[in-house]
Chains A and B, each alone.
Chain A
Amino acid sequence: MSHAIVAEGIGKKYRIGASLDPRRTLREAIVDFVGSVARRLRSPIASSTGAGEAPTTFWALRDVSFQVPKGEALGIIGHNGAGKSTLLKILSRITEPTVGEARVRGRVGSLLEVGTGFHSELTGRENVFLSGAVLGMKRAEILRKFEEIVEFAEVSAFIDTPVKHYSSGMYLRLAFSVAAHLEPDVLIIDEVLAVGDENFQHKCLGRMKTVTQTGRTVIFVSHNLSAVRTLCRQALVLDRGQVADRGTAVECVQRYASLAGGSVTEWQRPDHLPSTGALLLTSVESELGGHQPHLRLDLTLQFLSRAPHPPAFVAVDILDALGTPLMQALPRLDGFIGERQGIERVRMEIDLPPLIPDTYFLNVWAGSHNTQTLDQVERVVGFQVTESPTPGRAFPHTPDHGHVVPPSRVRLLDR
């Protein structure tokens, strides 16, 4: 079997607060290079914090090796800062690896953002040509696909209007459409799916699926785990710059999702969330108790009432690891929180249905009416079910048959 991509021991070192003295830079580069080779000779898996490493440098990627057979789609999963983007940049030749080598067979196209090469002063038509050329299409190729691109983007009426007058949705649709009509042998995609409204996202996903099924080799990075699962056969999990897991996409997504915060039972409102609303969820604690099939989730929610607002009630969504909502707990429909300003603590007890062993997450919503949201926070805490709801079941459960095992009885009827 021939491989489209073979990566061997790729590492990328970045300097924090780059030194401006080139001689020092060069010397350091050589010292580090020799050091890293020596380390790799000693152990095949280099440690992430080598001894004697200058504190001003860090390895965004370390010893990453993988192969992608021709015509296959490889998904890359990982937290922010795990090195996914760095890896894509190296494979697209935007930046060089510090060590290691990759061999890529065929014409490479990379989509690391939507709208690469777009210029706001130019019209839609002009931008199709410009962006197409930047992404590596020939003029003749763009001419041939022009109608198709415009039609897919649904912007035919505005194609001769400068894109600065486009709505953000139109802009993204046109930008994605140009990119989606790129036909290289190897396609490298980062997060491009996160564009537009739900309808268009669906269309994009469909398009990506066609692309992956036409014999093209694809490398795909996304936070959207279910997209990775649908589009890719194989996956690679990166963690702090190293390969943490690899295998089929289905398995990797499963294992990754169960690690990604499923056992977090306490939550404090982080600084990056907006904090200007009248009512804010400030902390959550959860505790899973009881035994299958009578598991109970006890939540303690703390709210801060900052300004007068109609009394609120609270709803909790329970989602699976991929973010699909499974059920909602909504115990009271009348407002009871925040009649006075200040801190209020709410206790919620949820009797869980018989859930299969998996990781689950909670979204918390508070509002005064079903159309009047005061605050909502996604994925505040999670819980992990380890016990099967069916006593004595030895073979594993899979989400392919749903997450809930309803209590059921069966017997032979009299003949």
Chain B
Amino acid sequence: MSSLPAGPRCEESLDEPLTFIRPSRGWRTLDLRELWAYRELVYFLVWRDIKVRYKQTALGASWAIIQPFFTMVVFSLFFGRLAGVPSDGLPYPVFSFAALVPWTLFATGLTMSAASLVGNQDLLKKVYFPRLAIPLAPVLAAVVDFAIAFTVLLGMMWFYGIVPGLEALALVPLLTLTLVTSLAVGLWLSALNVRYRDVRYALPFLVQLWLFLTPIAYPSSLLDEPWRTLYAINPMVGVVEGFRWALLGTDTAPGPMILVSSLAALALLAGGAFYFRRLERTFADLV
């Protein structure tokens, strides 16, 4: 059996990439370049998730509004009215809804992402592409639901006569922060879910717990500094307080919180991505 010359790379041409198939060990690089090369596939997966999302449902895309809206109604009644939870001087409904809209994006993206590897096992077992595309697509697809719910939020702001200032431009990085957080947790959970289906049962519980650990029904201004900034280790704290500040003009000065949240989210994302890549090689065999 003759073997190739020792330096195979010298034969490599642009049209004919040389692929090495060999056992990998330990931690692997993220190989984002390959993911970029497959960007069209990511686009199609996002497009599929959006298309299929509300197929064969009676209410269709209204679900994107119903969920956060009715949560807001319940919160307003019980926390705002009955318990008298403070809302940074804003009408309680718009105070909680401005938080629920990015929260729903996070929760939807996370839930779909966590189930994505198991849900796409046919693909995992039958065709190769960078596996990161699978948990990434549902997170991006959730942006459509977010956009729908966001228009309702704008309607509510109009109703209460709230006009956002230039701070609203901060929504773009805040939206990115939400997606990063959602993807980060999604990467951890989707990879874990391949091996331990417990994730499926733990997930609703986790999301619910996280909802109450995030200042959605209540303001983070209940905490004094430095605890308030420390609280932002939960990346959704920075997102939620950032949204309220950017849209509703709360004077909570969330800068430090957003910074802490961003750092926490990036750490979570990096860890999730490397953990995902490490387990990736076992996906097709274990799923």
A interface list, Cβ under 8 A from B: 2-3, 6, 8, 14, 18, 20, 33, 65, 67, 89-108, 110, 112-113, 116-117, 119, 121-122, 126, 129-130, 133-136, 138-139, 185
Contact = CB atoms under 8 A, between A and B. Distances in A.
A67 B1 CA distance: 8
Nearest to B47: A130
Contacts of A107: 16-17
Contact of A6 (B3, B122, B281): B3
Given A3-B4, A133-B44, A105 B125 contact: no
B141 to A, nearest CB: 13
B33 interface: no
Nearest to B125: A94
A121 B56 contact: yes
Contacts of A108: 19, 128
Contacts of B20: 101-103
B21 A102 contact: yes
Nearest to A117: B123
Contacts of A102: 20-22
B48 A105 contact: no
For B2, B19, B43, which residue has the most chain A Cβ atoms within 10 angstroms?
A: B19
A128 to B, nearest CB: 11
Contacts of A33: 23
Interface of B: 1-4, 8, 11, 15-24, 40-41, 43-44, 47-48, 51-52, 55-56, 122-129, 195-196, 281, 284-286
A94 B4 contact: no
Contacts of A90: 21
A119 B128 CA distance: 18
Contacts of B8: 103
A369 to B, nearest CB: 44
A134 B19 contact: no
Contacts of B55: 121
Contacts of A133: 40-41, 43-44
Nearest to A140: B40
A92 B18 contact: no
Contacts of B11: 2
A101 B18 CA distance: 13
A35 to B, nearest CB: 14
Given A121-B52, A121-B55, A130 B18 contact: no
B44 A103 contact: no
B281 A96 contact: yes
Given A94-B284, A103-B4, A119 B52 contact: yes
B128 to A, nearest CB: 4
Nearest to A102: B21
For B15, B43, B48, which residue has the most chain A Cβ atoms within 10 angstroms?
A: B48
A185 B18 CA distance: 11
B16 A135 contact: no
26 contacts: A3-B4, A8-B1, A8-B3, A65-B1, A89-B125, A90-B21, A94-B124, A95-B281, A96-B22, A96-B281, A97-B22, A100-B23, A101-B20, A101-B21, A102-B22, A103-B19, A103-B21, A106-B17, A110-B126, A116-B127, A119-B52, A122-B48, A126-B48, A133-B41, A134-B127, A185-B16
Contact of A110 (B1, B41, B127, B195): B127
